[in-house]
Chains A and B, each alone.
Chain A
Amino acid sequence: MAKKPKIAFFDFAGCEGDQLQIANLEETLLDVLGHVEIGEFREVRTGGKGPYDIAFVEGSITMPKDEERLKAIRAESKTLVALGACATIGGINCMKNFLGPGVYRPEVYGDRARWYETYDARPLRAVVPVDAEIHGCPIDRDEFLRVTKELLLGKKPWLPDYPVCVECKMAGNVCRYEFGELCLGIITRAGCKATCVTEGARCWGCRGLAPHANMDAARYVMEDRAGRSRLEVQDLMRMYLGYTSTTL
């Protein structure tokens, strides 16, 4: 039998909720482990050494020092996969970018702000090339399995290029806008089965913008049609989608 591919997990600033989803695969995880060799998976064990066939990296880059570590991981890995919103789009961590370092540093550190090295949060792809992305906050377990399988087979993983609304309709939900509420499903990349809407909340945008998302139309729907204030719309867009060149 050919040598088993070696995979590893790394994390930067994040809640480790995505690695938790992998632990949550339970029995299926044991099957996956049968096909790969685990290099580094700190929550389980350390001790693996590179090079790795696949490195899964969770979390955002939030300080200059992170860059060195990420570049070292990149150099050792054939395939680098961003795991979860913090890693793929910057996610929740980017909320602080809107405050500006002049505010967030003293707010948390008081007069000790200068002790800390920190800068605006950013996704992995702002620092190194990323080969594949598994979106979500947290990631969807089935999607993780599918993407991992595709990577192990040497295929380029497939990502939906349509918005969450498509899956939301398939799930049979009543649209949030019918209740006069906001929802980012109209511009967010699908793949989550619209779980947040199905469970009673709204789409928060954690999977990032769908390709060719029409931001002007979205703004028209949210502000003019649904009549929500500029501030509310901005709050929602800045929660996950903060790392973008579009004005939010």
Chain B
Amino acid sequence: MSAKKQSTAPAQKAPAPKAANAPAAPAAPVAKAKNVNVHHLTRVEGHGNIVVAIDKDGTVQTCRWEVPEAPRFFEAMLLGRSYTEVHQITSRICGICSIGHQLASLQATEDALGIRPSEQTVILRKLSLHGENLQSHLLHLGYLVLPDLLGVDSVIPLAKTHKKELTGLIALRRLSNEFCQTVCGRTTHPQRLIPGGMAKTPTVAELRELRQKLADSVDGLKGAAALFGAVKDKLPAFQRKTEYVGLVAHGEYALYWGQIGSTMDRRKPARFYRDITREYMVPQSTAKWSRNMMESYMVGALARFNLNHEHLSPLAAQVARDLGLVAPCHNPYYNNLAQLVECVHSTEDSIALIDALLTRGLRREFPAKITPRAGQGTGAVEVPRGILFHNYEYDDEGRIVQADCVIPTNQNHGNIQHDLDEMVPGLAALSEAEIELRTSMLVRAYDPCISCSTHCIDARGLEDDNPRGVIFVRA
């Protein structure tokens, strides 16, 4: 097996950010103007640009996070569709979060139609979410973030230089795929999750086998934690106080359900999500941005960690301590570490959930009987990148009359921009390559899913104080 060592030269104008992890040069007067223009940032889902211009005197002229994407009109496409297929359609908003989209969608539908899924269904759904969390976090950490920390431009050269570490991560990721396969039938766009229940459940033997494999994977996770612990000082020590928003629920590390919690605000039931997300449009993006108490807020693994860290499983709490992750943590780069901690939590909690299922006995259940009725409902689920809301209104035949989806990455865009605003002036003395690396790593730390975020743009219902005359950046 020889993954070919790639020639350096990435497509961007700036020089290769390879091995640019050297400590920051002491702030010297900036001799020449600097321009960083990252067109279509690599190793993120979807397309985004970073534009930074610093003049000769070291003054930041431009500092922008741009989101150009081709919207796909999901909210319009849902109009008139029946409750039986809505979750299958919204699943296609995003391949990586397809399970989370299905669950948020099912919750919204069930809320609107007054259906309560059984306890067994809820456990299986929580398991699905853990599986997806593992799939997504491991992909992000292993394939997208690790190259930055090891000073290479992609995961490909790591197959040579860090074979053992990489195969360890790949094995974990394969397990996360098997996990989703076992619980929801497919790794992406699963078919077992349906309104009111599960179309098919895993067998006892399958669950036992999965439990065993998860238990065996703990060592691998510890290895991954050690690997990231060893290179974590490559994550810049940048701090900015902001608001963190995520689900909170009594006595658990809330992922599947709960109220909307904030580090600065009162809890709110999910159906008041619009009070928090307050979306507005900005000139540089086709996606909508959000704000609540401050100018912006952050969602995702770090937000969940800050809100729910007391409920982490024992080993996950231990790994957090070992990694030096302490709540409240205001370093957005540490979102990567929070994801790693969540991988451990998801594994341990899944083992506990499987035990619970096996102890209570797996039952053959039939999905709840559904009689369509008019109504409105909201679903709120923590997906890998943060809190996701779906809100639907149905007519009395169970067909959609109004749909709204608020995507985690859209809630993060504003926070990314504010982080850049605060960070970039301090980088004025660095080389262009170094500025590019720092800003790219920042955006990557948020694990943005831009393809997801712009597929749900919705410009209706803007508040009056919103900037008008939006300029849309084209891909």
Interface string of B1-19 (1 = CB under 8 A from A): 1111011011110000000
- Measured in the bound complex, the distance between the Cα atoms of B75 and A236 in whole Å is 18
B451 with A34: CB separation less than 8 A: no
- Measured in the bound complex, the distance between the Cα atoms of B177 and A159 in whole Å is 26
* A66 neighbours in B (Cβ, 8 Å): 70
* Given contacts A104-B73, A112-B459, A138 and B156 within 8 Å (CB-CB): no
* Given contacts A27-B167, A199-B186, A201-B194, A34 and B96 within 8 Å (CB-CB): no
Interface string of B151-188 (1 = CB under 8 A from A): 00111100100000001001101100100000011111
Q: Is B42 on the interface with A (CB-CB < 8 A)?
A: yes
* Given contacts A30-B1, A47-B6, A96-B77, A200 and B192 within 8 Å (CB-CB): yes
A65 nearest CB neighbor, chain B only: B474
A199 with B199: CB separation less than 8 A: yes
Query: What's the minimum C-beta distance from B464 to chain A, rounded to whole angstroms?
Result: 13
A49 nearest CB neighbor, chain B only: B11
**A49-87 CB contacts (< 8 Å) to partner B:** 62-63, 65-66
Q: Is A45 on the interface with B (CB-CB < 8 A)?
A: yes
- Measured in the bound complex, the distance between the Cα atoms of B196 and A200 in whole Å is 14
Interface string of B56-99 (1 = CB under 8 A from A): 00000000000000111101110101100100110011111010
- Measured in the bound complex, the distance between the Cα atoms of B42 and A46 in whole Å is 6
Q: Is B46 on the interface with A (CB-CB < 8 A)?
A: yes
Q: Which of A35-43, A146-154, A216-224 forms contacts with chain B?
A: A35-43
- Measured in the bound complex, the distance between the Cα atoms of B85 and A20 in whole Å is 23
A200 with B95: CB separation less than 8 A: no
Query: What's the minimum C-beta distance from B187 to chain A, rounded to whole angstroms?
Result: 6
Q: Considering only CB atoms and an 8 Å cut-off, how many residues of chain A contact the other chain?
A: 62
Q: Is A204 on the interface with B (CB-CB < 8 A)?
A: yes
B88 nearest CB neighbor, chain A only: A204
A45 with B10: CB separation less than 8 A: yes
Q: Which of A11-19, A127-135, A160-168 forms contacts with chain B?
A: A11-19
* Given contacts A16-B46, A43-B45, A200-B194, A235 and B81 within 8 Å (CB-CB): yes
Q: Which of A31, A47, A62, A104 contacts B76 (CB 8 A)?
A: A104
A42 with B40: CB separation less than 8 A: yes
Q: Which of A4, A24, A137, A201 contacts B177 (CB 8 A)?
A: A24
Main secondary structure of the interface of B (DSSP, over half): loop
Q: Is B43 on the interface with A (CB-CB < 8 A)?
A: yes
* B79 neighbours in A (Cβ, 8 Å): 99, 103, 107
* A27 neighbours in B (Cβ, 8 Å): 167, 170, 174
Q: Considering only CB atoms and an 8 Å cut-off, how many residues of chain B contact the other chain?
A: 75
- Measured in the bound complex, the distance between the Cα atoms of B288 and A112 in whole Å is 13
* Given contacts A15-B95, A17-B92, A34 and B2 within 8 Å (CB-CB): yes
B73 with A200: CB separation less than 8 A: no
Q: Which of B11, B88, B143, B452 contacts A46 (CB 8 A)?
A: B11
Q: Is B198 on the interface with A (CB-CB < 8 A)?
A: yes
- Measured in the bound complex, the distance between the Cα atoms of B190 and A63 in whole Å is 29
Number of A-B pairs, beta carbon distance below 8 Å: 189
B70 with A62: CB separation less than 8 A: yes
Query: What's the minimum C-beta distance from B217 to chain A, rounded to whole angstroms?
Result: 14
Q: Is A196 on the interface with B (CB-CB < 8 A)?
A: yes
B456 nearest CB neighbor, chain A only: A108
Query: What's the minimum C-beta distance from A248 to chain B, rounded to whole angstroms?
Result: 14
* A215 neighbours in B (Cβ, 8 Å): none
B472 with A33: CB separation less than 8 A: no
Q: Which of B89, B154, B187, B475 contacts A45 (CB 8 A)?
A: B154
A26 with B191: CB separation less than 8 A: no
Q: Is B298 on the interface with A (CB-CB < 8 A)?
A: no
Interface string of A1-17 (1 = CB under 8 A from B): 00010000001111111
Query: What's the minimum C-beta distance from A113 to chain B, rounded to whole angstroms?
Result: 9
Q: Is B462 on the interface with A (CB-CB < 8 A)?
A: yes
Q: Is A177 on the interface with B (CB-CB < 8 A)?
A: no
* Given contacts A26-B177, A47-B10, A196 and B191 within 8 Å (CB-CB): yes
Q: Knowing that A30-B1, A109-B459 touch, tell me 19 more A-B residue pairs with CB under 8 angstroms.
A: A15-B94, A15-B452, A17-B92, A33-B1, A34-B1, A44-B143, A45-B155, A45-B156, A66-B70, A92-B77, A96-B77, A103-B76, A107-B460, A112-B470, A138-B188, A199-B185, A200-B191, A235-B81, A239-B88
Query: Can you report 14 residue pairs joining A to B where beta carbons are below 8 Å apart?
Result: A15-B451, A16-B95, A21-B187, A33-B156, A38-B156, A42-B47, A46-B12, A95-B77, A96-B72, A96-B76, A99-B76, A107-B75, A196-B191, A198-B185
